[in-house]
Amino acid sequence: RSQLPNIERHLNYFISMSTPENSSLKVIRKFFYSFKDELLKRIAKDEKIWFPYCLSLSEKLKDITLPVFHKEEEGKTEDPIEALLADLKSIMIKHLTGEYDENLCYAVIVSINTLEKDIRQHNRIRYRILEPIVWGMEHS
């Protein structure tokens, strides 16, 4: 979540310093705010539902054998948040048209890339570690 304000700041500055009539920048801004909304909804849901549920099961943790992650389960769920972020970066890299400041564009892409890595790491922990532990607690 801490990367969002950084991306937003870079993106808004980038857009404000670019040609006002650049329609691709309007699309990028709209796409970013749509992504931001989806990510914040997921974070709120996790904070309200997922994490409290995990904590409520944790009392059983001492009494169970944790399941082993199976390789075939890896990547079983394509994360729409990761896909949206990859799409945003792709638009910035491949489809941006008109006049714009390349250095500011690069700053936005670097910020997006940092968030992309954070989300990927979060998802690896969630799907490879936490979900199997929760499943084990639920089925013990």
Put residue 75 in one of left, alpha, beta given phi > 0 → left and psi -120 to 50 → alpha.
left
So what's the pLDDT on residue 100?
84
So what's the pLDDT on residue 73?
47
Which of 35-49, 50-64, 124-138 is predicted least confidently? 50-64
Tell me the C-alpha distance between 72 and 136, whole Å: 17
So what's the pLDDT on residue 89?
93
pLDDT band at 24 (very low <50, low <70, confident <90, very high): confident
So what's the pLDDT on residue 1?
60
The fraction of the chain above a pLDDT of 90, given in percent, is 45
Tell me the C-alpha distance between 140 and 132, whole Å: 12
Query: Is pLDDT of 76 > 70?
Result: no
CB atoms within 10 A of CB 25: 22
pTM of the predicted model over 0.85: no
Mean pLDDT in residue range 15-38? 89
Tell me: the pLDDT tens digits for 85-114? 999 999 999 888 888 889 999 999 999 999
Query: Is pLDDT of 64 > 80?
Result: no
